[in-house]
Structure 1
Amino acid sequence: MKNQYEIISHTTIHSFKIFLVNLLYREPHVHGDIEICYILEGSVIMCSAGQKLCFKKNDFVIFNSCQPHEIYGDENNPALILALQVSPSFCKDYFPKIQDLDFSFCLCNSCLSPQDANIFQGTLLELSRLYFSKSQGFEFRCISLLNLLFYYIITAVPYNQAEPEEKNRILIRNQRIQRISQYIQEHYTEKLLLTQMAEAEGLTVSYLSHFFKEHFHLSFQEYLSSIRCEKARQLLLLTEHGLLDICLESGFSDIKYMNKAFFKKYGCTPRQYRKDILKAPLPVQQKTILSTQNFFSDTTSLVLLEQYFLNAEKILKEYSLGKVL
């Protein structure tokens, strides 16, 4: 929970990272990379840019750098998501304007023809297979596939391009979003006031309040409360701590405030939530405990995605792309 602000480290290839994750819920968060989420199994509701959109199996969505978003899965069925996070500077030498593009928050499949959508999905899966297996020379082919993916994105997905005079303003905005998000994630267990953050940013409280609402699409208190509620929910599931200890560890000032916030978010009190989970069948308990995020290792990802990789190979061969790529 302390590291929900994602400072993404690209350890294998510096420009991007791929991971497979099983989740039921992901609290509001921000990261500096462009992110592509491909729904392999299940369904999710993704909240961003003031919208709530439902994504199902085989759908994919793109999040811009520094675009706050929140993900809800089906409460009884975790979603399996393949995520690609790419530094906006990966193509700066030959396509520098990528950093000035603001992609629409939409169902990206609908922007592509059925054939191109199949090629996109097959290419993303082949890129993932290479990334997880790390065979000799995989880096070269990965970069070629990454460029192909962004060819389809640039030519099909709607976007706005910043005018030259806007670039500096957008850079300042994104840096501020990152600082604010990081500060909240590092200090949510403490007494945290908007006045503190406004002072640190050299802004008035009124301006920062409006800035927060405009870009996070939640008030400061709603955003902070959501993070604290998720921490409390994890502690209820994974520990035997009493409510007072959970209250303090989650950053709530008192149990009454925690109960009110928890009820608003989950529809029940913390005590009732723990009681209901303990009464639930074991499979439900297991799914719920994994609900924040369950990341798979490269080796496990290869096993879980084997059937998807076979389908991707068929798709690429069907369109005569297997050897070309």
Structure 2
Amino acid sequence: MRPIYEENEETLEISENISSHISPHLHKSMELVSVTEGTLELGIGTELYHMEKGDFAIIFPELIHHYQVFNQNSCKAIYALASPILGSGYTKDLQQMCPANPVIPAPDVHPDVNYALRSMLVYPALSQEHVLHQAFIQIILARTFPLFHLIDKSTVESDDIIYQTVSYIAAHYTEELTLPKMAHDLGISQSSLSRVFSGTFHMNFNRYLNEARLDYACNLLLHSNHTVLDICIQAGFESQRTFNRVFQERYHASPREYRNQMKK
């Protein structure tokens, strides 16, 4: 999944992936998760929720969340990023509220939810299917909202340094950005900010920034006709050489090879 990227108002991205650790992040979409194999740990704010096969969860927009996998066996899940506009009629709640517990246990998941998810997998990224996507999202929300106890989103949001860090990167990752500049803008010391990246995200500032840029670049490679050079610039990389190097390290392929392989 792409944790941070710019999205248009009618975006839906859905895929069934092997589950893995994903660092804290946030985005403007709601995220739907259905575990299909193994287990998954979903973290929202300071809470960690255990998910078993068949469990379903919705992460409302603009909430910091992360994933962890402790199970040594195969773990997979369907992950969907859906713009709130696809959930018209629920938009206000999606923006202002969130579930006290976002996980619905498998026995309580309505069959319509799984049917809608599987149906959307057939049409994962076709703009002409927007009306169909909206219908499936409406079905999912109609079948799940009555099961949630909604609370004000401000009760789980935080003004602490972790929230500020994730929000700042999400807003500025395509710009020229350095650790000193970010620390200055947030009004904290560079050492404190470095400790957030190493202690919470388990990576340094440059790697976290490049991960965000790579996620956005992959989105453009798969869903646009922009050249690799244009994508490199739009994603905020200082040079195509740097872009190619970090891309190769993460995906073991060049951006052009990755685009061709994924489209096939």
The answer, yes or no, to whether TM exceeds 0.5 is yes
> Given the alignment, which residue of 156, 161, 185 partners 2:147?
156
Residue in structure 1 matched with residue 75 of structure 2 by the alignment? 79
Residue in structure 1 matched with residue 112 of structure 2 by the alignment? 119
Report the count of equivalent residues.
207
2:152 and 2:200 map into 1 onto residues whose CA distance is: 32
1:220/1:106 CA distance change after superposition, 3 Å:
farther
Is 1:97 the counterpart of 2:92? The answer is yes
Q: Which runs of 5+ in 2 are unaligned?
A: 209-249, 252-260
Output the amino acid matched with 1:223.
Answer: V
The structure with the largest helix share of the pair is 1
Q: Which digits, 9 at most, give the CA deviation of each residue in 1:143-171, with x for residues without a partner?
A: 21111111122222221257xxx8xxx9x
- Normalised by the length of structure 2, the TM-score is 0.60
Output the amino acid matched with 2:170.
Answer: Q
Residue in structure 2 matched with residue 182 of structure 1 by the alignment? 170
Residues 1-325 of structure 1 mapped to structure 2, 5 A cutoff: 6-9=4-7, 14-74=10-70, 76-92=72-88, 94-98=89-93, 99-109=95-105, 114=108, 116-131=109-124, 138-161=129-152, 179-182=167-170, 190-192=178-180, 195-199=183-187, 205=188, 221-226=194-199, 229-230=202-203, 250=207, 297=262
Equivalent position SS for 1:38: strand
- Normalised by the length of structure 1, the TM-score is 0.50
2:18 and 2:197 map into 1 onto residues whose CA distance is: 24
Q: Which runs of 5+ in 1 are unaligned?
A: 200-204, 207-218, 232-247, 252-288, 291-295, 300-325
1:139/1:33 CA distance change after superposition, 3 Å:
closer
1:45/1:178 CA distance change after superposition, 3 Å:
closer
- Give yes or no for contact 2:39–2:71 (8 Å, CA) kept in 1: no
CA drift of 1:47 comes to 1.9
Equivalent position SS for 1:7: coil
1:4 and 1:17 map into 2 onto residues whose CA distance is: 9
1:24 and 1:95 map into 2 onto residues whose CA distance is: 30
1:71/1:228 CA distance change after superposition, 3 Å:
closer
2:166 and 2:79 map into 1 onto residues whose CA distance is: 20
- Give yes or no for contact 2:26–2:167 (8 Å, CA) kept in 1: no
Equivalent position SS for 2:85: coil
- Give yes or no for contact 2:87–2:141 (8 Å, CA) kept in 1: no
Identity rate, percent: 10
Residue in structure 1 matched with residue 235 of structure 2 by the alignment? none
The answer to which structure, 1 or 2, has the higher relative contact order (CA under 8 A, 6+ apart) is 1
Asked which structure has the greater CA Rg, the reply is 1
